[in-house]
Amino acid sequence: MEKRLRCEKLKDKLMTAKEAAAFVKKDMTIATSGFTPAGYPKAIPLELARRGEAGEKLNLTVITGASVGPEIDEKMTNAGVVARRFPYQTDRTLRKAINDGKVKYQDMHLSHVPQQLKAGFLGHIDLAIVEVVAITEEGHLIPSTSVGQTNICVEMADQVLVEINTSQPLELEGMHDITELPLPPYRKPIDLTRPEERIGKPYIECDPDKIVGIVECDIPDSPAPIVEPDQVSIDISKNIIRFLKEEVKAGRLPKNLLPLQSGVGNVANAVLKGISDSDFEHLTVYSEVLQDGIIDLLIAGKVDYASGTSFTLSPEMNARLGEELPKIKDKVILRPVEISNNPGLIRRLGVIAINTALEFDIYGNVNSSHVSGTNMMNGLGGSGDFTRGGYLSIFTTQSTAKKGLISAIVPCVPHVDHTEHDVMVVVTEQGYADLRGLDPVERARKIIENCAHPDYKDQLEDYLNRAIKESPGQHTPHILSEAFSWYDRLKETGTMKIDQ
């Protein structure tokens, strides 16, 4: 602990998690560190869950950088202490509470959160609870495996509780680059033109007088296991790589591409694996999450630099992170989400954005978040930040879900996260559809031809052809009374397939 708590003035603030949790009072808004199950506080949230289990009605608003681990989203939800939650989650328990109407949830673009916190759009922040690897002599905070909006939580909260996590490698120190954007008007341009540039400080500045409690914690992050890519993910990845190679051949992309962003999950992992097996070299990454695949590519020398806001690792990689960090330390930068997901920077750097959809429609509108239009899955996360700003915006999905009972390409998505105006290329295991320069009907023909599953092609074509005949407007033909009927059929018969 000597090595980690270096500020003399703060040493008498060490306390138990239970004592620290006592600063949390009913109806408070708390903002925490954490972005994906990385770098979030654990010991204090577990105490809050215990208080809820003992019958206390805390009624908290909980704001995080993105999804966090089970200590917050599962345990605190189960204990009934979370009333409102922003801006993203991936937890089964919390998801159910949201869909049962028990927890109020706003799904937000992750780049919007820091500014909205700062501007007071999300209300007053009573308390920040943040995980760090160390506190410097001056009382500044060294974040752990993520930055997210931790710097803004610390700035905006009345009081700060800190968890010093001894399971997080001290080698993380020096990898962060903390910059904060002022509120408008007259903001200066952000001085960043390449993913590897540093523009800030390696710590979060914090007034030591704001720190009311420090807790030692050794609970590790809760990384999700990575499953070996299945054939569908491998095929999707091959189609993306085929598309990127065509772009290089056509002279629209340099040989080493442009900075890459990829989401989380199976397909993203398969894409990274595909890139590592391909002949692309000297790549750069400007993303929000840095997964195992990116660390492997950095070590293998395929990726020169990677910038993100969080390490989102498998348990195996997490366990050996301390060992691997010295090999990649000068090639990786962890930034606040306000910078990693900044749409202006993403546009400036020319990022290639690759994200995953639940489904898309024949015109290229994407639903990433709402199953059958009403049931929240996770949220849109940072996908919108990268998609709208991206030089190329690519969406992937398998062509069917639930063993073929659901088509992931539908006449009209019942919830839109990314509009047809933002989406350039859609990819399934069947192929890719390059939508650039096409009008809606041309797009629909291409999506059906290249991306739809053979079981649903005729149905989609039939809808499109009848829509063209019946629709009053010919720009984006629809039969509005029928456009969502595929969801009614799914509900009634268990499949979107028409019984022939």
Looking at 71, 131, 288, 324, which residue is catalytic? 288
Pick the piece of the chain touching ligand 0RQ (CB under 6 A) from 2-10, 151-159, 353-361, 420-428.
Answer: 353-361
Residues numbered 152-181 forming contacts with ligand 0RQ, rule: CB under 6 A: none
Distance CA 127, CA 23 (A): 8
**332 counts as binding ligand 0RQ under rule CB under 6 A:** no
Pick the piece of the chain touching ligand 0RQ (CB under 6 A) from 183-191, 197-205, 396-404, 463-471.
Answer: 396-404
In the complex, least distance from residue 402 CB atom to ligand 0RQ, rounded to whole angstroms: 5
Closest CA to 113 of 149, 73, 72: 149
Give all strands (DSSP E) within 309-431, no chain letters: 310-312, 332-334, 352-356, 359-361, 366-367, 370-371, 375-376, 392-396, 400-401, 406-407, 409-410, 425-427
In the complex, least distance from residue 112 CB atom to ligand 0RQ, rounded to whole angstroms: 12
Question: Which of residues 23 and 363 has its CB atom nearest to ligand 0RQ in the complex?
Answer: 363
Contact 62, 32 (CB under 8 A): yes
How many residues at the interface with ligand 0RQ, by CB under 6 A?
28
In the complex, least distance from residue 48 CB atom to ligand 0RQ, rounded to whole angstroms: 23
| Site pattern 297..316 for ligand 0RQ (x: CB under 6 A) | --------------------
Question: Which of residues 135 and 413 has its CB atom nearest to ligand 0RQ in the complex?
Answer: 413
∠ CA 307-313-318, nearest 5°, is: 115
| Site pattern 79..118 for ligand 0RQ (x: CB under 6 A) | -------------------------------x--------
Closest CA to 261 of 300, 216, 293: 293
Residues numbered 253-272 forming contacts with ligand 0RQ, rule: CB under 6 A: 263-267
Pick the piece of the chain touching ligand 0RQ (CB under 6 A) from 113-121, 140-148, 400-408, 453-461.
Answer: 400-408
Residues numbered 13-32 forming contacts with ligand 0RQ, rule: CB under 6 A: none
CA 139 vs CA 40, 162, 181, 397: distances in Å? 19, 11, 22, 46
Distance CA 58, CA 79 (A): 10
Let me know if 288 is a catalytic residue.
yes
3-state secondary structure 179-194: CCCCCCCCCCCCCCCC
Question: Which of residues 347 and 402 has its CB atom nearest to ligand 0RQ in the complex?
Answer: 402
In the complex, least distance from residue 401 CB atom to ligand 0RQ, rounded to whole angstroms: 3
The two tokens of residue 344 are 């202006």
Q: Which residues contact 63 (CB under 8 A, 6 or more apart)?
A: 29, 30, 31, 32, 85, 86, 87, 113, 117, 122, 125, 149, 153
Residues numbered 422-481 forming contacts with ligand 0RQ, rule: CB under 6 A: none
In the complex, least distance from residue 361 CB atom to ligand 0RQ, rounded to whole angstroms: 11
Sheet holding 359-361, edge to edge: 366-367, 359-361, 409-410
Question: Which of residues 33 and 136 has its CB atom nearest to ligand 0RQ in the complex?
Answer: 33
Q: Which residues contact 349 (CB under 8 A, 6 or more apart)?
A: 192, 193, 194, 195, 258, 259, 286
Question: Which of residues 136 and 393 has its CB atom nearest to ligand 0RQ in the complex?
Answer: 393
Question: What end-to-end distance do the CA atoms of the chain give, in Å?
Answer: 69
| Site pattern 29..68 for ligand 0RQ (x: CB under 6 A) | -------x-----------------------------x--
Binds ligand 0RQ (CB under 6 A): choice among 82, 117, 253, 289: 289
Distance CA 86, CA 63 (A): 5
Distance CA 470, CA 21 (A): 62
Contact 149, 185 (CB under 8 A): no
Distance CA 316, CA 300 (A): 18
In the complex, least distance from residue 281 CB atom to ligand 0RQ, rounded to whole angstroms: 25
Question: Which of residues 140 and 497 has its CB atom nearest to ligand 0RQ in the complex?
Answer: 497
One-letter identity of residue 94: L
**What interhelical angle do 266-277 and 292-299 show, nearest 10?**
10
Contact 131, 31 (CB under 8 A): no
Question: Which of residues 159 and 237 has its CB atom nearest to ligand 0RQ in the complex?
Answer: 237
In the complex, least distance from residue 122 CB atom to ligand 0RQ, rounded to whole angstroms: 18
Residues numbered 356-395 forming contacts with ligand 0RQ, rule: CB under 6 A: 356-359, 368, 371, 377-378, 380-383
Distance CA 170, CA 322 (A): 8
In the complex, least distance from residue 73 CB atom to ligand 0RQ, rounded to whole angstroms: 13
CA 350 vs CA 259, 365, 391: distances in Å? 7, 22, 5
Binds ligand 0RQ (CB under 6 A): choice among 406, 427, 448, 460: 406
**288 counts as binding ligand 0RQ under rule CB under 6 A:** yes
One-letter identity of residue 342: N
Question: Which of residues 127 and 295 has its CB atom nearest to ligand 0RQ in the complex?
Answer: 295
Residues labelled as active-site residues: 288
Residues that bind ligand 0RQ (CB under 6 A): 36, 66, 110, 263-267, 288-289, 355-359, 368, 371, 377-378, 380-383, 398, 401-402, 406, 408
